[in-house]
Structure 1
């Protein structure tokens, strides 16, 4: 389970750079990618974040991609492709942030 499970986009946008990089690293295991995404904050919504995430993943070097795929050992992946890495990373980010509409009040 992610250490930053359910923090929400607002908290993610406002947390320290160090914490944001750590949270993102848990999603992809690539420091340079995590730094780039963290430095793009604040994100106005999940779509903007996911667009930046996908672009960042497509810009990774071959060595960075291999390292990121190593973090997917417990995931079910259909192929060794950037598209599949985007799918896994997106799911991890959604677990990190929680639902876009937030959690219901009890």
Structure 2
């Protein structure tokens, strides 16, 4: 859960450095990316911020990506459950047998690639995630690393959107 939600672009641009880094870190789990994005302020639009965040993410080292992946939950676990660390495992149709199957497939993925499975899954069924996970096991290592960065970019963008709120801000009554 993000502490900074709907703060608006102007408020983000005006935040003290430490607070801005914290707000972005909640979205991306990377201190270097958060600090670089906060240093790049002010942004003129949400899109400009999102594009810069993508550029920074895609410029990170593999070691930094591995560090980010450590913050993500094991697929097949409910948010808030033991060993769950983020909302990205919130899938629909989370019957226990499907969640167990997802957990087994996730362990296979980890053993195969050496890093945990990550996917933007909000709104997808457990069966959809399981299908995607199984399909991605056919990727070679380099291809999968590219897929992982793209998935992280989708997750970051969604979280940054939630942090900022709508373009133009909320109407104050």
TM-score by length of 1: 0.91
- Structure (1 or 2) with the larger CA radius of gyration: 2
* Higher RCO (CA-CA < 8 Å; seq separation 6+): 1
Q: Deviations over 1:17-40 (max 9, x none)?
A: 110000011111111111100000
Query: What do you get for the CA RMSD once the two structures are aligned?
Result: 1.5
Runs (5+) with no aligned partner, structure 1: none
**1:49-60 correspondence to structure 2 within 5 Å:** 49-60=49-60
Structure 1: how far apart are the matches of 2:68 and 2:165? Answer: 22
| Count of residue correspondences | 106
State the secondary structure of the residue aligned to 2:6: coil
CA contact (8 A) 1:28 1:71 kept: no
Tell which deviates more after alignment, 72-81 or 93-102.
72-81
Structure 1: how far apart are the matches of 2:72 and 2:47? Answer: 23
Runs (5+) with no aligned partner, structure 2: 74-85, 90-118, 120-131, 137-146
Structure 2: how far apart are the matches of 1:45 and 1:70? Answer: 31
- Structure 1 position 42 matched with structure 2 position 109: no
